[in-house]
Structure formats: C-alpha cells, structure tokens
Amino acid sequence: MKLKINIAIDGYSSCGKSTIAKAIARELNYIYIDSGAMYRAMTLYALQHGYISPEGKVNEDALIPALDLVMINFRYNTDTYRYETFLNGQNVEREIRTLQVSNNVSPVSAIKEVRMKLVRMQKRMAESKGVVMDGRDIGTVVLPDAELKLFMTADPTIRARRRFDELHSLGVDTSMEEVLRNITQRDHIDTTRAHDPLVQAPDAIVVDNSHLTLDEQFQFVMSKVNQRLMTQPAGN
C-alpha cells in the first residue's frame, strides 16, 4: 500500500494557500479540503438566515443553536476539475467568494462553537491520511500531527492585488482600496481572536510567496513533500 501523509497549510488570507494546496492534492491524488471555504459557507448560512446585522454584528444566541442544522461537504466537479463547496446540499462555491461573505467571515470564525463544530468535521475528513488541508489553524489545532506543515505569507498589498483580480474575474464590482482594507481587518481579527488564532506552528516551513511564481511555489513544496515521504516509517 502506497504511503500517504497529511499536509497542513496555514497562512494569511489571499496568499495562495488554496491554489498551492489544490495543485499538490492533484499531483499526489490526495483529497483537498478547503477549511476556509467551510467557514465561508457557515458565514453564508448566517447571512441567509439573518443572523448577521447590516452593521456586521453576529447574533450568536441565534446562530449557535442552529449549528446542528448545517452540513458542509466538498464534491469534485469532473467538468471543471475542481472541488466545490456544498452547503446543505446546495452548491455555493460562487456565493461564498463574494465580498459580503469576506467582510463577515472573520467574526463568524471567531465564535468558539463554530470552530468546535468545523474542527470536528475536518478531523474526521483527515482520519485516513492522504489529505491536503488549508486554513488558519490546521497545523496547530486541526492536524497538529500532520507530517508536513507549511505556513504561507505574502506582502499585504500583493495579496490584495491577487484578491482584487480574483473578484474582478468573477464579475464582483469592488475597489482595490476596499479589498486591501478587508484583508488588513481579517489579518487583525485572525491573529488576535481568543479561540484558535492564526499562528505559525513551531515545526512549519515558512513560504513567503510575495515574489514567487506558482511553478516556483509548487516545485519548492513538492520537494518538501518528497522529503517527508522518504523519511516516514513504513508503518505509517
């Protein structure tokens, strides 16, 4: 049986975590799990049901009891060759990428009960190994025993430009200034929240991709993957 490992990829918003994670998963024929999409889906659910006010205040007293009604999973689209996010059976891949969701995802993600529910789901998904998972707390909380951990970062302005270009390609009308403001706010909330803040795992390899091409990132990460595969005990 071919040896498999779990790969945890953490880092700041819009620094290319999902892009490199998907590429590595395809190369290894592993399962890709976008934990950020799960928090976005939960945020979309809260918005759809009126649990977030126009001012961005989350009604935790209403949202927390409803968590048991939320089911999130991923399905592979053979036409687009991409994993897509499903919320209670509905494909919400496009809806969860809007700026409205981006502006509200950090407050929802900071709720302890939300994190507990999604972490349980994520841990179950990775039990059989062969998983590439990206997010904010994968190497520190969700998969602390992952055989390979990466921490990705990039200059905030470069991240904002990448995010702006992505939104523009989706037809979302926004400005570079608004996207940069959103990224700065998310960085602050993600790194200062009380429950499972974004931190670099002590054994994570830092990947600053501010000036790296996608191919350079891929080659670097694959070299680390192959190193880990060669050094894993045969019984793993």
Q: What is the DSSP string of 120-139?
A: HHHHHHTTTS-EEEEESSII
Average pLDDT of the residues in 152-162: 94
Q: pTM score > 0.75 for this model?
A: yes
Give the burial string for 120-144 (b: 16+ CB within 10 Å, else e): ebbeebbeeebbbbbbbbbbbbbbe
Indicate whether 235 pLDDT > 80.
no
pLDDT value, residue 168? 86
6-223: CATH topology: Rossmann fold (3.40.50)
Residue 52 DSSP one-character state: B
Average pLDDT of the residues in 63-91: 92
How far apart, in whole angstroms, are the C-alpha atoms of residue 113 and residue 101?
A: 19
Of residues 41 and 193, the one with the higher pLDDT is 41
Report residue 236's pLDDT band, with 50, 70 and 90 as the boundaries: low
pLDDT value, residue 83? 83
**In this predicted model, what pLDDT tens digit does every residue of 182-231 receive, in sequence order?**
999 989 988 998 888 899 999 999 999 999 999 999 999 999 999 999 88
Residue 117: alpha-carbon gap to chain centroid: 15
How far apart, in whole angstroms, are the C-alpha atoms of residue 230 and residue 13?
A: 31
Of residues 77 and 39, the one with the higher pLDDT is 39
Residue 197: alpha-carbon gap to chain centroid: 14
pLDDT value, residue 189? 86
Task: List beta partners, residue 14.
Answer: none
